[in-house]
Structure 1
Amino acid sequence: MSELRVYLFGTPRIEFQGITVKIERRKALALVAYLALSEQMQSREVIASLLWPDQDEGHARSALRSALRALTKVVDIEWIQADRMTIGLKREVVWVDVIAFQKLLTANSAHPHSSDSICKDCVDFYQQAATLYSDDFLIGFNLPDDLEFENWQLAQREWLRREYADVQRRLAHYYADLDQYEQAIRHAIQWLAVDTLHEPAHRHLMRLYAANGQRSEAFRQYRQCVEVLDSELATPPESETTRLFEAIQQGNPTLVSSTDSISAPISGVMPPLPSLLVGRDAALHAIKQRLGVGSPEARPITVIQGWPGVGKSTLVATLAHDLELSQHYPDGVLWASLGENPSIASEIGSWAEALRLNEPGQARTVEEISAQLTALLRDKRMLLIVEDVWQADHAQAFRVGGKNCPLVMTSRLNDVATALAPTATDIYRLPVLTEHAALELLAKFTPDTVANQLDEATQLVRDLEGLPLAIHVAGRLLQSEARLGWGVTELLADLREGASLLTAQAPSDMLGVKSDTSLTITALLKRSTDSLDALTRQYFAYLGLFVAKPATFDLPAMAVVWEVDDPKPIARLLVNRGLLEPVGGGRFQMHALLVLHARSLLDEVMS
């Protein structure tokens, strides 16, 4: 047993031989936390800039040396190793609760079953992991003058919360399968406590109560689900949740006993299942055929190409959750979203993490990780998705699948798609929506407008050239502003004043589409943001600080960026304006073009 123990779950503390060590400096404690989660020695320069971002390099390095001296004096053993360039903890004498938590979760990887399930031999590991997670990571600890450290801390906290929620989910399902409902209920309650907006947890708890003969508790759980979704997100429960409630009311044992499918191994945060997909049946069918559904053989590579806002991200997110594909590729889905300036090491590292390839203390290059993935996936049946590729060489590291692991990639650029695809037939060019589908999509948001002003609505979708993103935003705009007396005619006029390019043909090589489309949607989005008050428009602009793809974030992240205690009123307003979309689990997302629009406003705010 290590003499020195570092506890980072809950309020951070250090114990030496069972006695709490007092550390006066908050930056010194932050340094311990950062080093504790680092798998290798860390650069002094990186740490100094992380913890003392407002100081010049000389003063920051001096502050780091001072913090190190303070730490080396708190106990009588050497527990920090440092040289002129790097710093780290001596792992042989330091025990860290978060590292122990991670090791327990990887202990089941050697067992002969899916890495997403647990067996009776795994249960003890997961029970120990659940016990270690006494509270959220570094709860109550902050460095208010250091936004970069705060962002790192929030990212670690969210990641560990997801891991802990997954532990409780697995245990809840494990005991439910054994008909040990009381124990399953206890774990399901802990699962739900991590994220009260997570409907699968609500549904599982409802099923457990019903199976345990506690119908009144199942009804109470449903009411609680409805109330929390309404108060936090102003949204109703999913249809599956409502159907389950009705099945419990009617005493339907088949529906009550069925469970939500457990996701296969995934990479990081999977994209949410799109709530609205219109006019894409043919595209889905064609791509699924390319992936081997209904055809004798899958293509090794499929590249989906189309201009920004046409729905590539929505389409591949739907594929990632497709039931037929999940049955065809039972080992799961690996997902990466690159963007214009990707961190290849981070993205490929998340694939390694999903497949439990991370080795504490071992630094690996992108090439080494790719080689390991290639060896591991040789006999797997997995679907690999790499979204938003801007340069062909960015995707090279992700070509790791065996013969039964097809790779789907998306790009807005024609030359990149051509470089990615082995042959021209491996490219699927995603078209804009047909006029009929575009009207159907518009009607999802504003049915009265389409029904009562069909000619004007038709002209609107023609002017928007069937671009799903633009129609989505226009529909939200019409829906929310109908009470002000604004109609399709006024909106068309506004678009024509700000975006004459709407009537032009898209260039055949798609290279000019990006700027043209951005202008079009800018004119549309400006109508939404101009109606915001100055402060709310400023809050929207600050969302441009998030990475464009995938721009998903939760309420704590928004609270940090906006510097407010309660971000919900602002988030609710932006959701109502169609500028922000709840995706479940307390998370929100923005399309990349919305982020770019926010960034354009950010320049005005900063000036």
Structure 2
Amino acid sequence: MRSVSPPQLRLLGQFRLELGTETVELCRNGQRVLAFMGLRGRVCRTVLAGTLWPDVTEEHARGSLRTTLWKLPRGEPPLIGCCGDALVVSPALHVDVHFLTRTALEVVEDRGSPCRTRPALEILTGEDLLPGWDEDWVLVERERLRQLRLHALDALAEALIRQGRPALAMEAAWAGVRAEPLRESAHRAVVSAHLAEGNISEAVRHYDAFSQLLNDELGVPPSPQFARMLPERLPARTARRGRDCQRRDLLRGWFR
């Protein structure tokens, strides 16, 4: 007997609901309800209706919610069930955001095994939550995931350096830089990876480029913690100035 794959809700990138081997098309309100429920798991009807239909009366909002729920695909168990005045997502529904969250937390808590670091890197550098959706509840969740990803990338880079894998550590560090060019911890990870390989000049060059970028954008220097990472500064810096400017301009381009 052929097993049936569980329903999949994909919220990273474009919205997609997969039931078995089929992708199910939903109306916009159906997508919004399922996305909100997929992120929260359990929500009071009044809170859900008021969040998704904030500009109408409570009665009208609850009516819109009832209509939207009725239009969702039927299944056993249903994608969204009732528990008193609360709505609950079926435990069978796999939501990709939760997998990302678990992976990121495992990395941050240093519970990931060395053999899983590369898959973790691929997961942490994936797509954003529902790009193009601009409702407040989406923006809040998107920022939460962004911060979690950034912390996980920092932790992953540090773990890879400890494992003696500086090339992969550099990938994780630069992913953090691309996501937030002014985030110092990501640049510290880049410098740490250079130092782990013995590339002192590269480490100093990167520090200089970030220092100049930080001064140009915010008028502040890097933290003393960052400066203490470097050995004695190389005295002859004129020859590096052109390359430093190129690297600084690259970082600024990502910032813009």
TM-score by length of 2: 0.76
* Equivalent residue number for residue 86 of structure 2: 86
Q: CA deviation at 1:245?
A: 5.2
Letter in 2 for 1:101: L
2:147 to 138, 145, 162: 162
Letter in 2 for 1:201: A
Work out whether residues 14 and 130 of structure 2, in 8 Å CA contact, stay in contact via their aligned partners in 1.
yes
C-alpha distance in 2 between matches for 1:106 and 1:76: 32
C-alpha distance in 2 between matches for 1:231 and 1:171: 29
C-alpha distance in 2 between matches for 1:244 and 1:104: 29
C-alpha distance in 2 between matches for 1:78 and 1:95: 13
1:34 to 23, 33, 36: 36
C-alpha distance in 1 between matches for 2:110 and 2:233: 27
For residue 33 of structure 1, give the secondary structure of its aligned residue in structure 2. helix
Work out whether residues 49 and 57 of structure 1, in 8 Å CA contact, stay in contact via their aligned partners in 2.
yes
Q: 1:167 to 1:18 in 2, by over 3 A?
A: farther
Work out whether residues 130 and 167 of structure 1, in 8 Å CA contact, stay in contact via their aligned partners in 2.
no
- Alignment partner of 1:48 is 2:49: yes
C-alpha distance in 1 between matches for 2:109 and 2:130: 28
C-alpha distance in 1 between matches for 2:5 and 2:212: 47
C-alpha distance in 2 between matches for 1:47 and 1:30: 10
| Alignment deviations for residues 36-70 of structure 1 (CA, whole Å, 9 cap, x no partner) | 1224x321111011111110011111111122123
- Alignment partner of 1:21 is 2:13: no
- Alignment partner of 1:11 is 2:10: no
Q: 1:66 to 1:230 in 2, by over 3 A?
A: farther
- Alignment partner of 1:131 is 2:133: no
Q: 1:88 to 1:76 in 2, by over 3 A?
A: closer
Q: 1:12 to 1:123 in 2, by over 3 A?
A: farther
| Alignment deviations for residues 419-450 of structure 1 (CA, whole Å, 9 cap, x no partner) | xxxxxxxxxxxxxxxxxxxxxxxxxxxxxxxx
**Alignment gaps of 5+ in structure 2:** 236-254
Letter in 2 for 1:89: V
Q: What does 1:137-152 correspond to in 2, within 5 Å? A: 137-143=129-135, 150=136, 152=137
Q: CA deviation at 1:178?
A: 2.7
Work out whether residues 126 and 167 of structure 1, in 8 Å CA contact, stay in contact via their aligned partners in 2.
no
Work out whether residues 2 and 95 of structure 1, in 8 Å CA contact, stay in contact via their aligned partners in 2.
no
C-alpha distance in 2 between matches for 1:105 and 1:65: 35
For residue 249 of structure 1, give the secondary structure of its aligned residue in structure 2. coil
Larger Rg: 1
Q: CA RMSD in A?
A: 3.1
C-alpha distance in 2 between matches for 1:220 and 1:132: 30
Letter in 1 for 2:101: Q
Work out whether residues 154 and 189 of structure 2, in 8 Å CA contact, stay in contact via their aligned partners in 1.
no
| Alignment deviations for residues 148-178 of structure 1 (CA, whole Å, 9 cap, x no partner) | xx1x323222222222223222221122123
For residue 56 of structure 2, give the secondary structure of its aligned residue in structure 1. coil
Work out whether residues 197 and 229 of structure 1, in 8 Å CA contact, stay in contact via their aligned partners in 2.
yes
- Alignment partner of 1:117 is 2:116: no
Percentage identity across aligned positions? 26
C-alpha distance in 2 between matches for 1:207 and 1:55: 54
For residue 31 of structure 2, give the secondary structure of its aligned residue in structure 1. helix
Q: 1:220 to 1:10 in 2, by over 3 A?
A: farther
Work out whether residues 7 and 98 of structure 1, in 8 Å CA contact, stay in contact via their aligned partners in 2.
yes
Q: What does 1:342-491 correspond to in 2, within 5 Å? A: none
TM-score by length of 1: 0.35
| Alignment deviations for residues 542-561 of structure 1 (CA, whole Å, 9 cap, x no partner) | xxxxxxxxxxxxxxxxxxxx
Letter in 2 for 1:33: A
| Alignment deviations for residues 292-338 of structure 1 (CA, whole Å, 9 cap, x no partner) | xxxxxxxxxxxxxxxxxxxxxxxxxxxxxxxxxxxxxxxxxxxxxxx
C-alpha distance in 2 between matches for 1:153 and 1:95: 19
Work out whether residues 44 and 86 of structure 1, in 8 Å CA contact, stay in contact via their aligned partners in 2.
yes
Aligned residues: 233
Q: 1:241 to 1:105 in 2, by over 3 A?
A: closer
